[in-house]
Amino acid sequence: MNGLPLYPFAALVGQETLRLALLLSATDPLLGVLLRGDKGAAKSTAARALAELLPPGAPFVNLPVGASEDRLLGGLDLEKALKGESALKPGLLAQAHGGVLYADEVNLLPAHLIDALLDVAASGVNVLERDGFSEMHPARFVLLGSMNPEEGALRPQLLDRFALVAEVHAPLDTPERREILARRLAFDLDPHGFRAGWEGEQEALRSRLEHARAALGSVHLPPELLSEVAEAVCRHGVTSLRADLAVVRAARAHATLQGQSAVTRHDVETVLPLVLAHRLPPGMSPPQAPQQQSPQQSQSPPNPSAQQPEAPPPSPPSEAPGKEQHPRPDDSPSPDPVQEQVFAASPVQAPVLSVAGAGQPGRAPAPSAPERGRAVRSVPDLQPRELDVRASLQSALARSGTAILTGGDLHRRVREPVGGRLLTLLIDASGSHAQQGRMRAVKGAALALLGTLSHSDRSAVIAFRGAGAELLCPPGESAAARRALEYLPTGGRTPLAHALNLAAELLAGTDFTGGTLVLFTDGRANVPTTSDDPWQDALNAARTLRRALPTLDIQLIDTETGPQRLGRTRLLADALGATCTPLETS
């Protein structure tokens, strides 16, 4: 830590789910935690406060978003090398051994750092091979991260490494927010005096955790609970075996925090939402925690809403067609009951998107364009466009022990665009697409487009049917978008204007360097928004979107088929300033 006074964990107000997850990880270091939710909801404050609850001597290491590969993994010790000594300098992974590695904004880490973090977190060993050296050292640590989903999703492989995920939401209760404000102002005015006032509660919490850690290995796990854990995980459609193990470990940690000698069904039910919520397939509702309040150490006002992670809007699962289950984005009345179907995707080639506006996702910059973005690594290059002085010097020192560079020592910086590009799929899932298997082709074309994305690109999916539009997948990795499309049902009316308004709202709040919006529709709008004319509402929404996002590349895929066509898609494309391409169904 940086030596500044930390806000005491015991003084946190509300946020029972967040505090429970952190207390479980402080009890069992194998329970990594991801704090996911609103900006300004005390995620980082709580994570750093955890440092004072760890066993004496356990390190708490911060992983900055802008950390280099050398800083994370380790590299040549330049100071010693300049003195003629060849040695490696340990990185953050080595420093975190036996403690906590905390990654704030973990979803914004460069892809290559996430890959390295995955490998080490899985094996507990960091193998460092660079600059002519080879070294192996243990690196077992609690992986603790925080993120705001509005800034992008987390790669599913890394998300699964977190045993627990706490959904964190800023409280909307007035007395609770007033208490948060009062405590924070008191802390800022006199940090040491504020901490002294909470030292009794902090010490009691440390003592409780110390006893819980000591008793963890002796807590009895009844054999019948293993079957109940496996049944609960399977019932929620979770495939990762890490979930079962995380439930058992978290339930055992919860039992010992309660001073129990054996795990009970209540312990299992309490931790299930923390373990399963981030592993559920699309359309599956998360389990609900018992109503009993989680264990806490502060005298904070209760926050009943934080007892359970907020469930994401569910989409109808494939095994239950015929029911409209997703929430409406506005106050429109529910449509008449319709028979919905879930179609599998047909193999279809990706639509050829014309280069317009901001360009296509995944397209590399022109060779003459200057390289921009975050420097993520260095590679040998006899004629580097951007010389990496440090890496070149390291190479020379490792080779000859001197700082004299030769052509073979030169290294070029490789940069990764910050945020990448965003591909937003706007999918018409209304009943007209159930005819002639058109939805199969729509899904196939959408999946093919996702396959064209580069590693740094992101995708989002908005579907519209029934009375409104729904954000199925916020900007994130394409794997989540693929799952959302797989379970997307088809049926109901065509709320086209709603969809365009939701897309404009979503894209106005992103900070990606570029983006493409691909709209799949037959243009048969029949759900109004501001007037009695659904089609005119759709055209107005299209013009509003174009004015709000003038640099957005918009592509319209015309899905209308058959002898009787309305031909509205070209008019809609003109209003959007988009190209219009027919959907290839085979």
- Among residues 71, 184, 242, 483, the one annotated as catalytic is 242
- Residue where a domain terminates, one of 120, 145, 162: 162
Q: Is 242 a catalytic residue?
A: yes
Q: Is 59 exposed, middle or buried (0-12, 13-18, 19+ CB in 10 A)?
A: middle
Count of structural domains, the chain: 4
Containing 103, the helix (H) or strand (E) segment is strand 100-104
Instruction: Establish if 409 belongs to a structural domain.
Output: yes
Give which of 65, 33, 47 is closest to 1, Cα–Cα: 47
Instruction: Establish if 535 belongs to a structural domain.
Output: yes
CATH number at residue 257: 1.10.8.80
Q: How remote is the C-alpha of 214 from its chain's centroid?
A: 34
User: Which pair of structure tokens corresponds to residue 168?
Assistant: 């964190």
- Residue where a domain terminates, one of 122, 138, 162: 162
Q: Which domain holds residue 65?
A: 32-162
Instruction: Establish if 338 belongs to a structural domain.
Output: no
Residues in CB range of 36: below 8 A, 6 or more apart? 146, 147, 148, 149, 165, 166, 167, 168, 278
Instruction: Establish if 193 belongs to a structural domain.
Output: no
Among 109-118, 230-239, 277-286, 296-305, the least confident range: 296-305
- Region 126-155: what's the mean pLDDT? 78
Instruction: Establish if 459 belongs to a structural domain.
Output: yes
Tens digits of residue pLDDT in 556-575 = 999 988 767 788 999 999 99
Tens digits of residue pLDDT in 324-348 = 333 333 333 334 445 678 888 888 7
Q: What pLDDT is attached to residue 329?
A: 36
Number of CB atoms found within 10 A of residue 555's CB:
24
* Cα 246 to Cα 274, 348, 396, distances in angstroms: 9, 39, 47
Among 93-97, 200-204, 298-302, 394-398, the least confident range: 298-302
Residue 384 shares a structural domain with residue 462: no
Among 156-170, 205-219, 355-369, 460-474, the least confident range: 355-369
pLDDT band at 70 (very low <50, low <70, confident <90, very high): confident
Q: What pLDDT is attached to residue 130?
A: 64
Residue 41 shares a structural domain with residue 143: yes
Residues in CB range of 184: below 8 A, 6 or more apart? 7
Residue 427 shares a structural domain with residue 575: yes
pTM of the predicted protein model? 0.57
Instruction: Establish if 478 belongs to a structural domain.
Output: yes
Number of CB atoms found within 10 A of residue 328's CB:
18
Tens digits of residue pLDDT in 226-242 = 999 999 999 998 888 99
Among 38-52, 175-189, 261-275, 359-373, the least confident range: 359-373
Q: What pLDDT is attached to residue 339?
A: 65
- Region 470-481: what's the mean pLDDT? 84
Amino acid making up residue 301 = P
Residue 451 shares a structural domain with residue 572: yes
